[in-house]
Amino acid sequence: MTLHILSILSSLFDNETSTYTYLLADTTTKEAVIIDPVLELAERDAQLISDLGLTLKYAMNTHMHADHVTGTGLLKKLLPGSKSLISKASGAQADVFVENGFDVLFGRHQLTVRATPGHTNGCVTFVSHEQGIAFTGDALLIRGCGRTDFQEGNAKTLYNSVHKYIFTLPDCFKLYPAHDYKGQTCTTVGEEKHYNPRLTKPLDEFIKIMENLNLPYPKMIDRAVPANRVCGLYDVP
């Protein structure tokens, strides 16, 4: 039997914003998707995709980012034929809009969309049930979670999203976040259910924690959010 392994090249990292970009491919058909690419590194990503002989089907975002400009618009130009994808609830432009339950298909693989709002209204988690992995964006970070103090963030909504749509996955599922600020790369559902210092608390305590994070605003937010509304490029066709 041929094994059709998904290649996850999680070494795609942006040192400036601590953003993880994930490239997944069907090793047989060579169809690929990229999750949360960064504008300044789109050429690196396009080169890798072409070096590997892959065809990029979708350049996707887990949400409309506030800390960096997405690379999806530029990747579409660098790799003609690829399409941008984001949730309908994000309010951003894209070729393909997804919502809860939508299956993103590439080769023989699929990523099922779970709507996980709270950090932003349009946050989604992409789940591969077949591989036992999920890409959580900023909804769930390793031992943390996305902040809820801008972009229509709501702590109660985020808490419910994570408990209903991420913590209900099997404990062994590996979770890949959009960022990590301490050099961690991956966690599991079981680990976060037991050790996440925010999301293991009751809802009222979680809300207080989120109200008192006192994080500085992302440096690039004023540039990133307007750019990300249009796929990262003001002149996307």
Site of interaction with ligand L3IBWBLD (CB under 6 A): 17, 65-67, 138, 144, 146-147, 179, 213, 215, 218-220
Residue with Cβ nearer ligand L3IBWBLD (1 or 215): 215
Residues within the interface to Fe ion (CB under 5 A): 138
Residue with Cβ nearer ligand L3IBWBLD (31 or 67): 67
2: number of Cβ within 10 Å: 6
Cβ proximity of 92 and 106 under 8 Å: no
- Residue 80 C-beta: closest distance to Fe ion, Å: 28
Residue with Cβ nearer Fe ion (31 or 138): 138
Which partner, ligand L3IBWBLD, Fe ion, none, binds residue 147 by CB below 5 to 8 Å per kind?
Answer: ligand L3IBWBLD
Closest residue by beta carbon to Fe ion: 138
Residue with Cβ nearer Fe ion (26 or 138): 138
Q: Using alpha carbons, list the distances in angstroms from residue 235 to 90, 99, 229.
A: 19, 26, 12
- Residue 75 C-beta: closest distance to ligand L3IBWBLD, Å: 20
- Residue 38 C-beta: closest distance to Fe ion, Å: 12
- Residue 72 C-beta: closest distance to Fe ion, Å: 15
Question: Which amino acid belongs to residue 131?
Answer: Q
Total number of residues shown for the chain? 237
Compute φ and ψ for 97, nearest 5 degrees. Answer: -110, 135
Q: Using alpha carbons, list the distances in angstroms from residue 24 to 37, 142, 144, 210.
A: 12, 21, 24, 32
What's the start-to-end Cα distance of the chain, in Å? 43
